[in-house]
Structure 1
Amino acid sequence: MALVIRDAEVLTMDAVTGATPVRRSIRIDGDTITEVGTRVRTDDTDTVLDGRDRLVCPGFVNAHTHSWEYLAKGRYDNLPLELWMLYSYPILGARPLSPDLIRLRSLLFAAESLKSGVTTLVDDVLETPAQDLDQLDAVVGAYDRIGIRADVSGHVINRPFVDTVPYAADRLPPAVVSTVRSRPVPTAQEYLDFSAEALRRYRDRAGGRVRYMLAPSGPQRCTDDLITGAAELAPAHDVSCHIHVLETKVQAVTGREFHGSTLVEHLRRIGALTPNTTLAHGIWVTDADIDLLAEHGSGVAHNPVSNLKLGSGIAPWRRYHRAGVTLGLGTDGCSSSDTPRMHDVLKAAALLHKVTGPDHHDWPRADEVLRAATAGGARTAHRHHEIGTIAPGMQADLLLYDLDTLAFTPRNRAELQLVHSENGSSLRRVLVAGRTVVEDGRLTTVDEDALRAELAELMPGIRAEQDRLERENDVFADAFEWMHRTCAGEDVGVHRWSGPDPSLARSH
């Protein structure tokens, strides 16, 4: 028995019709799209959905996010990245979370993602003070259960945190620096062994719908042998190697101070730029950096909402496109953007770059934004062979929007209205691998009300622990504030943007 969507307006996002709506029918057998055309085969046993007044597009790929920040949603404001990390990524005092809480956290994050049209997560999961396989199992199991597609990482930092940023260690009490440096960090071999086991363990999980990816935190936070090993392991298993690079001006200064070059040039020098390498953020890049990424086929996951909230900067959208660098779109974490909703990201990407130059021919087009949210994200996740477009042989990850709503009234250009007018309220059905996981705003695979009630009971204890960690990590705040101000005033010769306002006040 197949599912047929008949006579819908379809954004195929393929090389022929792209983001131009075309009237098409779609046949889905099992988890796979088998036919797309003005007419498709139907059998008596098929389920047929009337596609009239419906817009169908590929499911969104959240090309960079951190589900583990979900418990700190709405907790911080007016903090640049390095100061924000003191509290959301505590350096001192963190206690391991139980697999049960991680399961609950992951289910809620995935639930909100699915209800907003995200069918694939590139989830860079960090557990503090360290991640074990039981914790990773909890994330993978939650995503398998709820029905979302996901790449799940073991995010790793294997340098002492005070040594991952310039200048700060010199302004901290020696006893604090000594304490941080005495904390155990994984060796490169330990991380690669952990990753090899995870890759083996999850190779066939949910038919490949949920899998493991490599995620060295960044070239300033990981040793070269770890990054190089991860970059070699990723293509061997046909997954991505996901690395935070040049998110802030501090990181631009870091490259010069630590390596005598940009961080992108350093990655090239150690052999870590490959078609499987994806840079998260990529804001403070030089023109030469962009050319290197294009030369090596590496992609960028762009996070405009998070970058705005943290005052990190504005990525060079048009320069990336001109160089042929593939862009995906991500929400980043729920503590740096406070939502996993991709509709917010689409609109921000479409609007933000219009203020970076007066030539309106260079401004983002709706079709480019939609491509980044679908086919581009699939490419940066190294899943472009199975998702991101609507075509025979692709996985049936689809979104069905009701065109008979105020967001699409009057009906003009559906692709523009999807980017600029729609906020997810018109989304009627979400399919992942041919299975309906959201119908009329309700999840079909889990009890959302029960999940929220379960978390509500736990929140008093979670908040008390967050308060304790913030008090303990306040010791770093003045030194990191000084470092942020110092780096914000430095000329690092990057492609664009003058940097965050150094007068940003610390508040939490």
Structure 2
Amino acid sequence: MRDLIIRNGNLLISADHETLVRADILVRDGLIAEIGSNLQADVEVLDVAGDVVIPGLINAHLHSPGNFMRGTLEGLPLEVFMLYEVPPLASGVEAPEAVRLRTLIGAAEMLKLGITSLMDDAFFVPLTTRSSIDAIAGAYKEIGIRATVALDQPIVVEYDKYPFLRDLLPDDIRRTMELAPRETAEGMLEHYAYLIERWHGAAHGRIAAAVSCSAPQRATEDYLRALHGLARKHDLPYFCHILETKLQRVLGEEKYGQSLVKYVDQLGILDEHMQVIHSIWVDAEDIAILAASGAVVAHNPVCNMRLGSGVMPFRSLRDAGVPICLGTDEAVSDDSHNLWGAIKAASVMHALAGGDYRDWPACSEILSAVWDGGNRVMRRPSPVGRIEVGAAADFAVLDANSPTFQPLHDVRRALVLCEAGRSVRHTIVDGRVVVRDGRLTTIDETKMLESLRAMEPQLRADAIALRESARSLEPYYRQMVMQAAVRDVGFTRWVGK
């Protein structure tokens, strides 16, 4: 059922609105058809009895393949962390049913938190397969969420992604890395042709494709340009991790003689299609280039703190006119997909940068990042992140009697500072009630959890084996990170330095 009336809601129309509006919403064919009082139509009615209705949240950056890894690692810098998350010497093939379950687990969590849209930069260990693509996109179709999926797969040898590492590694490890399974540009473009043909626009448009190079240093110039061509041809988002860490700043200097922002701009691929993920170690010139490009920056505050990457210059980016969206990154670096935690973190962590307190992010700006920035980067035909006629019928209904709203002084501050996701009663995606009174309506949760419990012994064994395997490489990566850490790059994004 994609025709629906949401009756008696207190609506927060968008991030720009300060107050709630009491009204009904009529949904037809998955879109908002009318907003008004006492609307009548021969459709399903969801009476929310004065609860708070907001646009569904948009989780604008995550990696679903990390869903089984939450709570497996202590804090580590990104480059060491990735040894345990994406082992460079891995082999074998992932089982499609495990990939499906892994994807469902994360999507179920998000829907129950009122997250209706996501952008999944999915990686594959070690190689991309059509069965895994189908398992991920199919899981999102099955559970009823709105999802944009990209294939995040490096195509260069492991040690070429980093500064200093080639010289730090013993000869035998370098040779092993050279022989490890690795994708090619040609192979990845074939996978993208399949993803776009099979899944772009599927499930009444809920499922869409994006492209991803992972990061510019993990790809070749020809492949980066080929992905840009696909993005422009099909109007797709282009995911690209840029300057997440200080080491990546140093890498730009060492490998390209310039920052990675300048590098992608020089290649001609930095435009309104690109989602620049993290954007922490950017300087004033980088920010000006980003602002002129039309690219959207994805802020992942909890992940950035968890991995010690630094504090993104939120105010400098926003004042320059760079659109910002918000994400959780993944369940092994945020250890959840609870966007509410990222929302609060984004609202408070930038006070650590000091300066004039009037420049600290306002709650309206954080909600604008969630809804307006998320809408911009998703590039969908019908707007998401707003309650207006013609927009996608994606909503979260929050219990007005929950502690979040007791007492209610300012609804936007209540959502940003007080809400943790516990108030969500119902979630509607594309006009369909996919969570009703806290329970998923689209899949059998009990069966899903039983399948997960059956897998847990093997998942724990795999995690232990992975940690033992990664420890043999960690000393070389640690030395590389420390070597980059002492380089003077002219500024810092670390607190207290």
Q: Same fold (TM over 0.5)?
A: yes
Does residue 166 (structure 1) correspond to residue 163 (structure 2)? The answer is: yes
| 1:193 is aligned to 2:190 | yes
- 128, 152, 156: which one aligns with 2:153: 156
Contact 1:94–1:469 (8 Å) recurs in 2: no
TM-superposed CA distance for 1:19, in Å, is 5.0
Q: Is residue 352–residue 495 contact of structure 2 (8 Å, CA) maintained in 1? A: no
User: Are the equivalent residues in 2 in contact too, given 1:19–1:370 (CA < 8 A)?
Assistant: no
Residue 347 of structure 1, aligned match among 325, 344, 347:
344
1:40-439 to 2 correspondences below 5 Å? 41-43=39-41, 45-383=42-380, 385-439=382-436
- In the superposition, relative to structure 1, how do residues 113 and 477 fare at CA in structure 2: closer, same or farther (>3 Å)? same
TM-score by length of 1: 0.94
Measured after TM superposition, the shift of residue 425 of structure 1 is 1.2
Matched AA of 2:467: E
TM-superposition CA deviations, 1:424-447 (whole Å, max 9, x none): 111111000000011111111112
2:276 and 2:298 in contact (8 A); partners too:
yes
Residue identity opposite 1:335 in structure 2: V
C-alpha distance in structure 1 between counterparts of 2:183 and 2:48, whole Å: 52
Give the Cα separation in 1 of the matches to 2:364 and 2:24: 21
Q: What is the letter of the counterpart of residue 30 of structure 1?
A: D
Q: In structure 1, which of residues 468, 472, 476 is the aligned counterpart of residue 469 of structure 2?
A: 472
Once the two structures are superposed, what CA deviation does each residue of 1:91-124 show, in whole Å capped at 9, x if it has no partner?
1134321001001111111101111111111011
Q: Does the 8 A contact of 1:284 with 1:315 survive in 2?
A: yes
CA distance in 2, matches of 1:134, 1:418: 39
CA distance in 2, matches of 1:325, 1:490: 28
Find runs of 4+ consecutive structure 1 residues off by over 3 angstroms: 17-20, 46-52, 498-501
Q: How many residues align?
A: 496
Q: Indicate the residue corresponding to 2:29 in structure 1.
A: 30
Q: Secondary structure at the match of 1:225?
A: helix
Counterpart in 2 of 1:505? Answer: none
2:9 match: 8
Partner of 2:212, secondary structure, is coil
Aligned-residue CA RMSD (Å): 1.7
* SS at structure 1 position matched to 2:476: helix
**Does the C-alpha gap of structure 1 residues 226 and 370 become closer, same or farther in structure 2, counting only changes over 3 Å?**
same
Q: Secondary structure at the match of 1:141?
A: helix
Q: Give the distance between the partners of 1:500 and 1:231, measured in 2 at CA.
A: 39
Q: Deviations over 1:443-483 (max 9, x none)?
A: 11112122111111112122222322322232211111111
> Secondary structure of the residue that 2:217 maps to in structure 1?
coil
Separation in 2, partners of 1:252, 1:76: 25
Task: Check whether the contact 1:152–1:211 (CA below 8 A) recurs between aligned residues.
Answer: yes
Q: Residue 25 of structure 2 aligns to a residue in which SS? A: strand
In 2, Cα distance between equivalents of 1:19 and 1:448: 37
Contact residue 92 and residue 472 of structure 1 kept, 8 A: no
Q: Distance in 2 between matches of 1:216 and 1:42?
A: 48
| Preserved contact between residue 195 and residue 209 of structure 2 (Cα < 8 Å) | yes
Match of 1:21 in 2: 20
Specify the code of the residue in structure 2 equivalent to 1:360.
Y
Letter in structure 1 aligned against 2:31: T
Determine the C-alpha separation between the residues in 2 that align with 1:59 and 1:94.
39
Cα distance, 1:423–1:149 mapped onto 2, change above 3 Å: same
Relative to structure 1, is the Cα distance of residues 97 and 162 closer, same or farther in structure 2, using a 3 angstrom cutoff? same
| Partners of 2:309 and 2:494 within 8 A in 1 | no
Deviations 1:175-229 (A, max 9, x none): 1011101234322222122212211111331011112210111011111111111
Task: Give the direction of change, closer, same or farther, for the CA distance of 1:120–1:203 in structure 2 (3 Å limit).
Answer: same
Q: Structure 1: how far apart are the matches of 2:46 and 2:130?
A: 42
Q: Which amino acid aligns with 1:6?
A: R
Preserved CA contact (<8 Å) 1:12 1:19: no
1:360 Cα shift? 1.4
Q: Gaps spanning 5+ residues in structure 2: where? A: none
- Residue 493 of structure 2, aligned match among 489, 493, 497: 497
Counterpart secondary structure, 1:208: coil
In structure 2, C-alpha distance between the alignment counterparts of 1:182 and 1:50, rounded to whole Å: 60
Which runs of 5 or more residues in structure 1 are unaligned?
Answer: 502-508
Given that 1:312 and 1:499 are in contact with CA atoms closer than 8 Å, whether structure 2 keeps it comes out as no
Q: Secondary structure at the match of 1:207?
A: coil
Would the aligned equivalents of 1:313 and 1:500 in 2 still touch at CA under 8 Å? no
TM-score by length of 2: 0.96
Cα gap change, 1:408/1:5 in structure 2, threshold over 3 Å: closer, same or farther? same
Q: Give the Å deviation of 1:35.
A: 1.2
Report the equivalent of 1:459: 456
Cα 1:149–1:351 shift into 2, 3 Å: same
The answer to whether 1:485 aligns with 2:482 is: yes
Is contact 2:126–2:182 with CA below 8 Å preserved after alignment?
no
CA distance in structure 1 between the aligned counterparts of 2:20 and 2:308, rounded to whole angstroms: 36
